[in-house]
Amino acid sequence: MHRYVIKRILLLIPVIIGVSFMIYFIMDLAPGDIITQLVGEDASEEQIAALRHQYGYDRSVFYRYGKYMLGLLHGDLGTSYITKKPVWDMYITRLPKTFWLAIGASVVAIGLSIPLGIVSAVKSGSLIDNSCMVMALLGLSMPNFWLGLLLIIEFSLNLGWVPSGGFRGFSSVILPAITIGTGHMAVMTRTTRSSMIDVIRQDYLRTARAKGVSEHKVITKHAFRNAFIPILTIIGGQLCAGIGGAVITESVFSWPGVGRLIIDYVHQRDVPVVTGSIIMTTIITGVIHLAVDLLYAVVDPRIKGKYSRKGLRLAPRVKTKRGAA
């Protein structure tokens, strides 16, 4: 098990290198001269040349990337071109806000979708099931930013119950959390339902019923535990998406989170801020994925055996007869 965790963490390193390389180069692709944008029009030739040298823009992009990665090796995410502040500081002050939003959205989504998904599966084909599925489909099809704006119109402009944006305590979390949570909820309700429907047909539920387990327990204990793995995957994915920055929602609600940080500085072509923030996102996402994978083993003992085995392949692979031959 420890070996597995260590291996997984080590495997994050090439991913981080790949991601940083990709983002750094794409950002660098952008047309126009960053330095002239930075100093403004009235700067002297010498000032520009000095800055150009300081940021490495008198050399190739590989040099700049190399320098950046050398800093990263020492735990330095770089310094913003614009604010001149360390990217780490900028990121870390934004992270808690994004974190709370992600948690809020997950609470909204999990709290509603799992019960609804279970009921829909058990009463598959009923009126409840059909209405849940229609609602989920609507939730899935509704653009986040539109839902956010509609919520603002109704609950903050018309009713005045909650602030329309910014970060002002608990009440300001409600609308953005619902906005993100609705999309999550739609996906999760559908996943819960289909996963439960698969499990409901299994023979072992009949065994449970035959030994006198009440229907309620058959569903909540025997069936749900088995149906939980796909749901766990979705929860993990949604948490990652939330941490990575619910860019749109944060933008609609002027939420001072990571997503806004990235979008603001993308516009200004601040390469270190964007690259650094995305590296952080990749790391956090990787850790969440690992946590989810470890939780699989808690939920399903069959998976545990796979983790402790030696020579394990990290990506789940389908064994093929041809491959073996």
Site for other proteins in 124-163 (CB under 8 A): 124-125, 137-138, 140-146, 149-150, 152-153, 157
- Residue 49 C-beta: closest distance to other proteins, Å: 25
- 3-state class of 59 per DSSP? coil
- Binding span for other proteins by CB under 8 A among 40-48, 54-62, 74-82, 310-318: 310-318
Q: How far is Cα 226 from Cα 51, in angstroms, rounded to an integer?
A: 60
Q: What's 85's DSSP letter?
A: S
- Binding span for other proteins by CB under 8 A among 19-27, 42-50, 66-74, 83-91: 19-27
Cβ closest to other proteins, residue 73 vs residue 210: 210
The end-to-end CA distance of the chain, in Å, is 30
Name which of residues 157 to 196 contact other proteins (CB under 8 A): 157, 194
Size of the site for other proteins (CB under 8 A): 79
Cβ-contact 140, 186 below 8 angstroms? yes
Name which of residues 242 to 261 contact other proteins (CB under 8 A): 244-245, 247-248, 251, 259
- Residue 291 C-beta: closest distance to other proteins, Å: 16
User: With binding defined as CB under 8 A, does residue 44 bind other proteins?
Assistant: no
Name which of residues 51 to 110 contact other proteins (CB under 8 A): none
User: With binding defined as CB under 8 A, does residue 213 bind other proteins?
Assistant: yes
User: With binding defined as CB under 8 A, does residue 321 bind other proteins?
Assistant: yes
Cβ closest to other proteins, residue 100 vs residue 224: 224
φ and ψ of 166, to 5 deg:
80, 180
Both structure tokens of 120: 């829909």
